[in-house]
Amino acid sequence: MSLEGAIAANGNTRGWNIIALRSLLSQSKADNRPDLPLLGVNLHSGVTQRSANDGRPAASEDLTAYKVVAPGNIIMNRLGKPHGSVGMSPWNGITSPAYWVMGINPQLGEPRFLHHLLRSRHLVAEYERLGKNQPPNQFDISWDAFRAIEVPLPPLEEQRRIADYLDTEIARIGRLTAARDAQLSLLEERELAVIRHMLSGGATSQGGRPTDWPWLPHIPADWSIGPVYAYYSTDLGKMLNAERASGEKLHPYLRNANVHWYEINTADMASMHFEADEVRRYSVAPGDLLVCEGGAGVAEAAVWDGRIEECYFQKSLHRVRQSSEVPVEWLMYWLRFAKACGVFDASGNLATIPHLTGEQLRQYRIPIPHDGQSMIRETGRKISDMAKARTLLNTAQKGLSERRQALITAAVTGQFDVSTASGRNVTDGVNA
């Protein structure tokens, strides 16, 4: 159901007003308070206090042009995707000059209600619709277009009842989500413990061989340690350019977006031209290990299963082939554990995007077992079982997120009366 449909079917019948956002919201452009804490806004959490390691682009060194935010103000990121990065701030602070900071007409709007309304499914769809083909940014929504959006608005007292109801129900869903997040964290800890046990051979200081690695201090006394290049061959893929991405005889290739821990997603494959003499150099064969060279997924690795007969790889990936008795899965699990322990943090260029260069990968020293195949099989079995549990938990998390959004959208568009609703029967029955 569209926003207009929700208004016509529900808001009007309950005596709600239809009002343009221009009557509710006005921009605030106060600045010059660099002493205040830095705030951000995102689709999932709304307004948050920023930290130095939150993964977002660093703030400007000069914060004097950053906009002042007061409790109850609405912050919105009008640029880019995902749409819906908007919410009410509970704090005093400052935020990017690129964001809108909006005050609310207190005679018409309850800030907590507007927080939910502006993040509802119908409103996010409006931002997407109005933001198309807006120069200079494809996903930019203009202030005039935003202000012209019409929304269903109940009386202030009903806005407060809806906000109270949603705060309670969303907090309940949040507790369930947090519990599942904790389960997912425990699964990751268990996965890393299984890998650590394999890579260390279960060795301890009693009878084990010291490695001088604080993250893997001992291995069995009869194991060896050697550089990656002594056991595997490694190559980077082909550089992409506009000419190679068009023309005849295009072939699918893998890039870092396709490679994740233990799995390769071929649902979104790109293509480019490969010359006859490049087939051997840039093709992938079953059993090749593909390792991400850079970006947020640096070092993530998976084994190619040959599902596409003729397939290649781009420069953003390393192709690792076995050249000794040590299977490529051994290196894959080593990469998984090493990354979790921060081994690649110091060697990457953290000022921009972390990278794992070919030379760095070849020079890393790894433990070498006598017969890793049986250990790899056992580790793989355990990780596969944990992956199934993780899939179930992630599916449940997705369901909670969808239920949360359906509940919000139904409440702020008048699809049910919160004074007689319970969270269980509403979220079970809503198909907003």
pLDDT of residue 353: 55
Name the pLDDT band for 429 (thresholds 50, 70, 90).
very low
pLDDT value at position 209? 92
How high is the mean pLDDT of the chain? 87
Q: What pLDDT score does 237 carry?
A: 87
The answer to whether the beta carbons of residues 188 and 42 sit under 8 Å apart is no
The pLDDT-based confidence of 130 (bands split at 50, 70, 90) is confident
Helix and strand tally (H, E) in the chain? Answer: 10, 23
Mean pLDDT to the nearest integer, 318-336 = 96
Residues 398-424: what's their mean pLDDT? 84
pLDDT bucket at 427, cuts 50 / 70 / 90: very low
Q: What integer pLDDT is reported at residue 432 of this predicted model? A: 38
CA distances 307 to 114, 132, 262, 264, 332, Å, are 49, 37, 15, 10, 19
Q: Given this model, what pLDDT does residue 418 score? A: 84
Q: Where do the DSSP E strands lie in 83-241? A: 86-88, 93-95, 100-104, 150-153, 208-210, 218-220, 224-227, 232-236
260 pLDDT more than 90 = yes
> What average pLDDT score do residues 71-76 get?
95
247-284: buried (b, 16+ CB within 10 Å) or exposed (e) per residue? eeeebebbbbebbebbebeeeeeeebebeeeeeeebbb
Q: What is the mean pLDDT of residues 81-98?
A: 88
Q: What three-state secondary structure class fits 393?
A: helix
Taking the C-alpha atoms of residue 338 and residue 335, their distance in angstroms, rounded to an integer, is 5
Which among 152, 156, 69, 167 is positioned nearest to 118, based on CA atoms?
152
Q: What is the pLDDT of residue 247?
A: 63
DSSP 85-120: -EEE--S-EEE-TTSEEEEE-TTT--HHHHHHHHTS
Mean local confidence (pLDDT), 113-131 = 90
pTM of the entire structure?
A: 0.77
Q: What is the pLDDT of residues 180-199, one digit of tens each?
A: 999 999 999 999 999 999 99
Q: Strand, helix or coil at 252?
A: strand
Mean pLDDT of all residues in 103-115: 95
What CA–CA distance (Å, rounded) separates 341 from 183?
A: 20
Give the dihedral sign, CA 416/419/422/425.
negative
Least-confidence region, from 11-15, 33-37, 98-102, 158-162: 11-15
Percentage of the residues of the chain whose pLDDT score is greater than 70? 86
Looking at residue 51, its pLDDT comes to 75
Strand 232-236 relative to strand 86-88: parallel, antiparallel, unpaired? unpaired
Q: Six-digit token pair at 310?
A: 């003729």
Would you state the structure tokens that stand for residue 309, as one six-digit string? 């007969």
Q: Which residue has the higher pLDDT, 298 or 432?
A: 298
Q: What is the mean pLDDT of residues 341-362?
A: 74
pLDDT band per the 50, 70, 90 thresholds, residue 54: low
What mean pLDDT do residues 377-383 have? 96
pLDDT for position 276: 79
Q: Give the C-alpha distances (Å, rounded to integers) separating 272 from 264, 265, 315.
A: 19, 18, 12
Per-residue confidence (pLDDT) for residue 59, from 0 to 100: 75
Token digits for 144? Answer: 């005039």
What is the pLDDT at residue 268? 85
Beta strands per DSSP E along 6-45: 17-20, 25-27, 39-42
pLDDT tens per residue, range 190-223: 999 999 999 999 998 888 899 999 999 999 999 9
